[in-house]
Amino acid sequence: MKRVMFIGETDSGKSGLILALSGEAYAPRRAMAVEYFGRFINTPGEFLENSRYYHALITSSADCDVLVMVQDATRPTSLFPALFAPIFNRPVVGAVTRSGEPGAKPERAERFLRSAGAKRVVLTDFRSGAGLDALADAVS
């Protein structure tokens, strides 16, 4: 079973994806620390939001087999730099969250993730459960 690390802005849906994929009760502590939950690694949003912490993301990725970059489809901007994914030297999957929400623009979120270097992007929605099986396949 592969270990999966999630990277994304604060409140982008990283914890929700872990909860949905694990099928277990997961409650993040919201501390500025990397959290391990079974085979999942949840990184603080601040690590992406402040480039001073990129080294912490790179170091944490040494413990994972697959990296998931999470982008909220309702956000008009992205903090993922162009060609960010190759620095991790791991397979990278993009996950668009909240793709079914009112005002969501999943196409824009997918462009952000592809620009950051994600080769495969999966659109997900927590309310309908859309895309969660495809994401589980992509990270297994």
| Chain segment 40-72, per-residue pLDDT in tens | 999 999 999 999 999 999 999 998 999 999 999
Residue in the block written with tokens 């997900």: 124
Which class does domain 4-139 fall in? Answer: alpha beta
The pLDDT assigned to 8 comes to 97
Per-residue confidence band for 29, with pLDDT thresholds at 50, 70 and 90? confident
Answer whether residue 30 shows pLDDT above 80.
no
Higher per-residue confidence, 24 vs 121: 121
**Do 80 and 90 contact (CB within 8 A), yes or no?**
no
Distance CA 25, CA 28 (A): 10
Answer whether residue 21 shows pLDDT above 80.
yes
Strands 40-42 and 35-37: antiparallel
